[in-house]
């Protein structure tokens, strides 16, 4: 019989690439992870790892087993959700992740509704960039999260996660007057931190319009971005959720590109009563 905890480590090695990264995610030592994977190899009766010097990769058999591990873990999530549905009332922790604009606009009313309807739920929220969500869900740091991607920066499906559509948003040019994207070629730009989805989206939108943005400022908080745009410090692309309060002097010009917000959880967990209640509390707000 294959040990589920060891299967999870193998799955995480396939995702993270190194034993050190798997160890850090589980607060194990690398030696402990190696020992558990060696035990899994003995259980499987076939080599799962290929070692070249200090580098470890999955053998073809290891890749097959890692793919099946996703199915096993999803089945366990479905079983956990089914058991939770047999209990009366919702209780226990629900760990939620969300990006900053959703924290300000979508979550407050939803948290109030959840607290009122399910007072035994222990709600905790963490603000983070959507790029960090998949690992947080996989390692159990989060139970459910709001994520987004853009037409210009689509996210590849992750077999460890399931998502449900929540909201489609318009993207706007924020400037001191009406602008076309091509007309912003010579403008200074306000961009998010490199490596974030928002930064990549802006760069790709500008490149599609035939230029590379000339960056003057970096800011991740859209309220700051809009304040800088109002002060004539540059132009920026901002999503609809960020435009609930627009400073005087900022003109928003809509673009054809869209941002899509989704609800994400571990594969198999979507029917867990607490996650379903969270989704239901959110939908009237979008």
pLDDT tens, 27-52?
Answer: 889 899 989 999 999 999 999 999 88
Range(s) within the chain of domains with CATH label 1.10.10.10: 4-84
Does domain 169-259 correspond to CATH entry 3.40.50.280? no
Tokens 């580098």 appear where?
Answer: 55
Please check the confidence at residue 130 and state whether its pLDDT lies above 90.
no
What pTM was estimated for this model as a whole? 0.82
What digits encode the pLDDT tens for the residues 217-249? 999 999 999 999 999 999 999 999 999 999 999
Report pLDDT for 177. Answer: 94
Q: What is the CATH number of domain 93-160+261-285?
A: 3.40.190.10
Give the mean pLDDT of 123-128: 95
Range(s) within the chain of domains with CATH label 3.40.190.10: 93-160+261-285, 169-259
Does domain 4-84 correspond to CATH entry 3.40.640.10? no
Q: How far apart are CA 136 and CA 142, in angstroms?
A: 6
What is the separation, in whole angstroms, between the first and last Cα of the chain?
Answer: 46
57-89 b/e (C-beta count within 10 Å ≥ 16 → b): ebeeebeebbeebbebbbebbbeebeebeeeee
Q: How far apart are CA 116 and CA 108, in angstroms?
A: 12
- At 285, is the pLDDT very low, low, confident or very high (cuts 50, 70, 90)? low
Please check the confidence at residue 168 and state whether its pLDDT lies above 70.
yes
CA triple 192-193-194, angle to 5 deg: 115
């Amino acid at each position: 019989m294959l040990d589920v905890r060891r299967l999870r480590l193998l799955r995480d090695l396939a995702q993270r690439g190194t034993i050190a990264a798997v160890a850090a995610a589980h607060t194990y030592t690398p030696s402990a992870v190696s020992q558990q994977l060696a035990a899994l190899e003995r259980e499987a009766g076939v080599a799962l790892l290929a070692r070249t010097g200090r580098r470890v990769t999955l053998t073809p058999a290891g890749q097959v087993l890692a793919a099946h591990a996703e199915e096993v873990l999803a089945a366990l999530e479905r079983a956990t959700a089914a058991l939770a549905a047999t209990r009366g009332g919702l209780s226990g922790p629900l760990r939620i992740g969300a990006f900053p604009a959703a924290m300000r606009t979508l979550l407050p009313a939803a948290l109030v509704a959840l607290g009122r309807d399910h007072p035994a739920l222990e709600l905790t929220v963490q603000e983070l960039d959507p790029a960090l969500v998949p690992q947080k869900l996989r390692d159990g740091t989060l139970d459910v999260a709001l994520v987004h991607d853009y037409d210009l920066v689509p996210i590849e499906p992750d077999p460890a996660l399931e998502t449900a559509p929540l909201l489609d948003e318009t993207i706007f040019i924020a400037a001191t007057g009406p602008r076309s994207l091509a007309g912003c070629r010579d403008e200074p730009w306000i961009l998010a931190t490199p490596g974030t989805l928002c930064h990549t989206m802006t760069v790709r939108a500008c490149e599609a319009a035939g230029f590379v943005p000339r960056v003057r400022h970096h800011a991740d908080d859209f309220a700051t971005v809009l304040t800088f745009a109002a002060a004539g410090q540059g132009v920026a692309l901002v999503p609809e959720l960020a435009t609930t309060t627009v400073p005087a002097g900022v003109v928003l010009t809509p673009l054809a590109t869209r941002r899509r917000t989704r609800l994400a959880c571990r594969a198999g967990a979507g029917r867990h009563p607490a996650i379903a209640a969270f989704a239901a509390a959110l939908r009237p707000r979008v």
